[in-house]
Amino acid sequence: MAPVAVRFAPSPTGRLHMGNARPAVLNWLFARKHGGTFLLRHDDTDAERSREEFVTVIEADLTWLGLDWDARVRQSDRLARYREALEQLKASGHVYPAYESAEELSLKRKSQLNAGRPPVYDRAALRLSGAERATLEAEGRKPHWRFKLTPGVTRWADVIHGDMQVPAESLSDPVLVREDGTPLYVFTSVVDDADLRITHVIRGDEHLMNTVPQLQLFAALGAAAPVFAHFALLVGKEGEKLSKRLGALSLDEMRADGIEPMAIASFLARLGTSDPIEPRGDLAELVEGFDLTRFGRAPAHFDANELRAHNAKVLHHLPYAAVSDRLVRFQLAHPVAFWQAVRGNLATLRDIEDWVAVVRGSLRGRMEDAAFAARAADLLPAEPWNDQTWGGWTAAVAGATGTKGRALFHPLRLALTGRETGPEMKAMLPLIGRDRALARLRGEAA
């Protein structure tokens, strides 16, 4: 059995968003789960829309997600190979030239729909005589090339959809190459998958019907077909299409909004399955439990608020090593202890700045009872402090003032942090330090 090989094939016409980051995550996890290879293929044959800057940002987004690739291919480097494959199909009689303009094809489709018939290409080009083709070309018309589908039912076992049976007659003969010589996805993808020995094609179910001509193309080119797995598309929480919102769901926007890459990866890895979406510390944990057969055929509901809530859970579980490079700028005296203290109170990593201000900034505590705070200040023990200091100190304050419960702990938290709630004070007090604590209890800015 051939080693597993999958590919992620973005078109460099825009940034990655949640919709097309999903196949990247699923393909990468599948490859790593099976010890296979993950190929990055830039589908950049559309010269008008493809941009070099998007190649760069797509690769940057993948790197940010932690998705590395074992090889990289650009379709624009393989145009000669597509021309060679087209000549092979011409020689075997699997393709034919068609001369209708886009406007003529549009009128045909409208006529068929008005007559209650499916808008399937009528193969009029096959009925042209040699003289008629010569006349059209003399008029300046250049042909586009269609693949001639073999009639009958095309069958395949889809990993997610199960046994599929589609009559080829229900589909139009697909255009493989435009009039200007530009090869199209249905064609180039098959040539690439065959040449690069892709074993599994994992993609959205908007491509489900493309599988019919592609399976026939593999056979026509004498190549083995890969296994197909088509996952359901993302929809909004009310079932609406996400297409108009994808700009707001770009990874660039998500990153700017403070969403962690592991939050996105772990969210997308389970979205559309019956398994709970759980926080994970690294991609290796996701690989271990990944299973394509767990994905359902119903559309997967995406809720940005659920992602943000999941992001908070991910942060609460992240080890210091996962964020150390982003905390170094704060020059904290005890960064590991600080992270372990505050991470459970973060919604995004940007919230960390508030807690940095608490432990090393200058703030004036909020006083509920100045006399109580002053008495507590007198009882502050000498340093060094540790996670036992808070308990010993508050016990001394309770004994001296007769206060207990919320009446004891709440005013001390307000005076020391200026906040109603937050991390456990047994962890925060040593980070604040005696000098700041003393000043804040006395109502001074520190």
- Nearest-angstrom CA–CA distance, 231 and 150: 27
User: Which CATH number covers residue 340?
Assistant: 1.10.10.350
What number is the average pLDDT over the span 258-267? 96
At residue 246, the pLDDT reads 58
- Residue 232, domain member (yes or no): no
What number is the average pLDDT over the span 12-24? 93
User: Across the chain, what does the average pLDDT equal?
Assistant: 94
Instruction: Pinpoint the alpha helices (H) of 180-258.
Output: 185-195, 211-220, 251-256
Distance set, CA 352 to CA 50, 283, 323, 434 (Å)? 39, 24, 11, 22
- Residue 391, domain member (yes or no): yes
pLDDT band at 242 (very low <50, low <70, confident <90, very high): confident
Q: Tell me: the pLDDT tens digits for 324-354?
A: 999 999 999 999 999 999 999 999 999 999 9
Q: Tell me: the pLDDT tens digits for 312-329?
A: 999 999 999 999 999 999
- Residue 383, domain member (yes or no): yes
- Residue 414, domain member (yes or no): yes
Q: Tell me: the pLDDT tens digits for 358-368?
A: 999 888 878 88
- Residue 328, domain member (yes or no): yes
Taken in order 428, 432, 437, 443, is the CA torsion positive or negative?
Answer: negative
- Nearest-angstrom CA–CA distance, 82 and 189: 10
- Residue 64, domain member (yes or no): no
- Residue 170, domain member (yes or no): no
At residue 245, the pLDDT reads 57
Percent of all residues in the chain with a pLDDT value above 70, rounded to a whole number: 98
What number is the average pLDDT over the span 413-422? 94
Residue 352 domain boundaries: 321-446
- Residue 83, domain member (yes or no): no
- Nearest-angstrom CA–CA distance, 315 and 411: 28
pTM: 0.90
- Total number of domains constituting the chain: 1
* Rg value, the chain, Cα: 31
